[in-house]
Amino acid sequence: MAVRRRSGVGSLPSRRLFLTPMTVIHVAALSVASVACAFDLRTRRIPNWLTFGAAAGAIVFQIAVEGTSGFAHGVGGWATGLALLIVPYALGGMGAGDVKLVGALGAWLGPVDTFWVAMYTGMAGAIMALIVAAWHGYLRRAWSNVWLLLSHWRLNGIRPFPELTLSTSRGPRLAYAAPILVGTVVMVWLR
């Protein structure tokens, strides 16, 4: 006879974390992030047809499944994705394709999951940036640039530092769709 344990104080953690099925929405978001990652790694660009097409498809899907609340959920996720990454873009530290990609993923996932994608993406991006900098022998210079940027912001306010933007920096580049893909995978896995 099998004994079932109830989850609670003094019992083992629930296995739900490992048994949660992926939804159509999760599969769509992972697919979009994977295709964007492949493009970004190969060409250093994420095509507009992918980001805008994915966002439009997500909103149509949300409306078809949930009606007006689905529309609000999709548009809210899209806006959340854009809002979370617009500052790094405005400061010259990220490309517009990365911002549009997180917006498109947000249209699929909604505001709350998009927030978590952005948080996990930031963590993955920091780790990957350190690895890329170390691999290219740029780690010491990268730390120097971080301190220079923080000093610039302290003295001049938070605004782009022309010598350290994505378009002017001579350091190694990280295809940021890779951390976005990792952030999406982690969010889906932990969901």
User: DSSP of 31-88, one letter per residue?
Assistant: HHHHHHHHHHHHHS---HHHHHHHHHHHHHHHHHHHTHHHHHHHHHHHHHHHHHHHHH
93 Cβ partners below 8 Å, 6+ apart? 165, 166
pLDDT tens by residue, 93-139? 889 999 999 999 999 999 999 999 999 999 999 899 889 888 988 77
Q: Does residue 74 form part of some domain?
A: yes
% residues pLDDT > 90 (the chain): 59
Task: Give the model's pLDDT for residue 40.
Answer: 96
Q: Does residue 1 form part of some domain?
A: no
What is the mean predicted confidence (pLDDT) over 13-21?
50
Reported as a pLDDT band with limits 50, 70 and 90, residue 52 is very high
Q: Does residue 135 form part of some domain?
A: yes
Q: Does residue 156 form part of some domain?
A: yes
What is the mean predicted confidence (pLDDT) over 77-86?
96
Q: Does residue 6 form part of some domain?
A: no
Residue-range definition of the domain harbouring residue 149: 23-190
Task: Give the model's pLDDT for residue 167.
Answer: 67
Task: Supply the pTM of this predicted model.
Answer: 0.81
Answer positive or negative: Cα dihedral of 184, 167, 161, 48. Answer: negative
Please tell me the total count of domains within the chain.
1
% residues pLDDT > 70 (the chain): 87
Q: Does residue 10 form part of some domain?
A: no
- 94 near 85, Cβ under 8 Å? yes
Quick check: 148 pLDDT over 80? no
The overall average pLDDT reported for the chain is 86
The DSSP annotation for 149-187 comes to HHHHHHHH-S---GGGSTTT--SPP--THHHHHHHHHHH
Q: Which tokens is 116 given?
A: 């978590």
